[in-house]
Amino acid sequence: MLAGCAEEPPPRSVTEFVENPMMLEAAMVRCSQDRAKTRYDAECVNARQAVSRIQAKEEAEARAALEARSESKRAALRRTQAAAAEARRRAAEQQRLREEAEYLAQFGVLPPSAETTTGPRDEGNLPIAVVPEGDAAANEDEVYREPIESEDIGATPPIPEEPADDAEPGATDLESIRDELRRRAEEGGN
């Protein structure tokens, strides 16, 4: 009977230490008191292995959490970039439609829009392009001059009259420009 009581209990396994952190802590305190004596003790070796496993498990969990955060940040960045690309695409499309509308407006044509149906257009509100009649080759020397409105008389210089056939071609234009500049200088000085 005495021999049975004197036997030491079997050393605790690594699994027991991993499952019971208080037992692991007590074993580590006992093993760290005399490191030289407990260096090869089976229970101390098992306790150190349990600590290594717990640390590896915690590091793996921290790495997984960090990876999950990183993945969520990457997903948010991808969504932001996709939204910015879509906004740029829409802005470019709007700019293209604006330029197309300006171009077509020169010819009195309204650009097609998503709101209008494919039925006949209301022709009453469309601007009309003025096309000069007659032979285009015969009208090359003619210059179109817009009529001067009464409120614009002081703001725009008068259109010089055509020079006489015997006058020098550029002289009349130059003289009328000089006269206009003198007139404006006198008006500004008063």
pLDDT of residue 8: 76
Angle at 25 between CA 23 and CA 27, to 5 degrees: 70
pLDDT of residue 36: 86
Alpha carbon distance 102, 108 (integer Å):
10
Cα(first)–Cα(last) distance of the chain, in Å?
A: 135
| DSSP for the chain, written as a single string | -HHHHHSPPPPPPHHHHHH-HHHHHHHHHHHHHSHHHHTT-HHHHHHHHHHHHHHHHHHHHHHHHHHHHHHHHHHHHHHHHHHHHHHHHHHHHHHHHHHHHHHHHTTT-PPP-SSS-SS---GGGS-------S-TTTTSS----PPPPGGGTTTSPPPPPPPPTTS-TTHHHHHHHHHHHHHHHHHHH-
21 contacts 53 by C-beta, under 8 angstroms: no
Split at pLDDT 50, 70, 90, the class of 139 is very low
Please tell me the least confidently modeled range out of 6-15, 51-60, 85-94, 126-135: 126-135
User: pTM of this prediction?
Assistant: 0.41
Alpha carbon distance 130, 107 (integer Å):
9
Share of the chain above pLDDT 70, in %: 63
pLDDT of residue 187: 87
pLDDT of residue 125: 55
Whole-number CA gyration radius for the chain? 48
Q: Where are the domains of the chain?
A: 11-105
Residues 34-67 have pLDDT tens digits of 888 888 889 999 999 999 999 999 999 999 999 9
The backbone torsions φ and ψ at residue 78, rounded to the nearest 5 degrees and listed phi first, read -60, -40
